[in-house]
Amino acid sequence: MHTFEEKKFNIPELKGISKKNIEEHLKLYAGYVKHANLIQEHITELSKDSEKYAYELGEINRRFGFEFCGMRNHEYYFSALESGAKNLSDKSELKKAIEKEWGSFDGWLARFKAVALTRGIGWAILSKDTETGRLLTHWVDEQHLGHLVSTTPVLALDMWEHSFVADYQPSGKKKYVEDFFANLNWEVIESNFAKAQ
Ligand SMILES: [Fe+2]
């Protein structure tokens, strides 16, 4: 049976976000990988008698989206913090696409940061619609509710409290968002954009 592999990330010292918080956060990521695999195992097992286990199968099939998206969201998040902060080049295709969609990079950034401050737990996402090539900025509740069909994430910002409360306190959400962008390796985001087909 195929299993999902836990990825390893080489995250340097970050502005504002402590090493300890990243370590703890990576353990939560590992939990999503483990549970995405476990659910697949359970589905295989219960499917041997799908009539008897119809209710259980229904529940864990629903649950799979939560675990799988939790795994992938965190991979986008942590990989974007690898190798130190790097700016988005003015010549980059991603920058041009952002300017085309929202008029200016700063206009988009303000909009994305506002999405990140949505009340509740979830993710602020920049994704590319592979049907039209357009970029979209949107909110995902929990890990999975609000991912848009036919889009591929390009940038994912974790807005669950576990990602910032230890360093910033609940009231420091805004500062965490600022620091996330100060730490961001835009070369990774650019590469995500290029790969999103
Ligand atoms: Fe998280």
Q: What is the distance in A from the centroid of ligand 1 to the CA of 79?
A: 13
Question: In the prediction, which pLDDT does 56 show?
Answer: 96
Q: What percent of the chain has pLDDT over 90?
A: 98
pLDDT surpasses 90 at 197 = no
Q: What is the distance in A from the centroid of ligand 1 to the CA of 22?
A: 10
- C-alpha–C-alpha distance, residues 117 and 32, integer Å: 24
Per-position DSSP letters for 76-102, written without gaps between them: HHHHTTTTS-BPPPTT-HHHHHHHHHH
Burial classification of residue 158, based on how many CB atoms lie within 10 Å of its CB (0-12 exposed, 13-18 middle, 19 or more buried): buried
Q: What is the distance in A from the centroid of ligand 1 to the CA of 29?
A: 7
Q: pLDDT tens digits for 4-58?
A: 999 999 999 999 999 999 999 999 999 999 999 999 999 999 999 999 999 999 9
DSSP code at position 17: S
- C-alpha–C-alpha distance, residues 69 and 67, integer Å: 6
